[in-house]
Amino acid sequence: MSNPRLRIVLVDTDPGRRMSIEKDLGSLGYHRIVPVSSLPELIALLDNALDVFDLLVINAETVGDAGTGFNQLMDEYSCVRHSLIYQGSVLQMLPFTNIRFKRYGFLASGVPDRSNLEHVMSRVDAPLQPIRPSCEQRRCEGDCRG
């Protein structure tokens, strides 16, 4: 059974693909989806996030626009727990590590369909490990107090 409280951010410049993925996620029981169309919109959203996003679903072209800085961007924003980068049908799981809890990254070669999304959500919707710091604490270095 899906956890309807999971928060998902969906990034794609193509509104048709965004709507298709959002519809598939909705049919799986996930309705807290924030669709955005660009990397600057995503950064603005993450800069102002008050809570974590359980999954970032993003098109590889958008990741490519960020260049080599995408991994650094994901490290900087601890308010993103997991990511699915889609580019063109085989789904791979790539582990990202974080001191406080395990993160998963997924790659899909193509626009993820319902079965791909169902597989990803079975991992994302698993029981939580220890909670990471809030987004407001994401840039703390050294001795964070608070």
Q: What's the pLDDT tens digit per position in 8-28?
A: 999 999 898 899 999 999 999
Say if residue 88's pLDDT is above 60.
no
Say if residue 126's pLDDT is above 90.
no
Give the span between the Cα atoms of 30 and 23, in whole angstroms.
9
Give the mean pLDDT of 27-39.
94
Q: Which residue has better confidence, 57 or 69?
A: 57
Would you kindly state where each structural domain of the chain is located, as residue ranges? 7-128
pTM beyond 0.85: no
Which CATH number, 3.40.50.2300, 3.30.2350.10, 1.20.120.530, 1.20.1110.10, labels domain 7-128? 3.40.50.2300
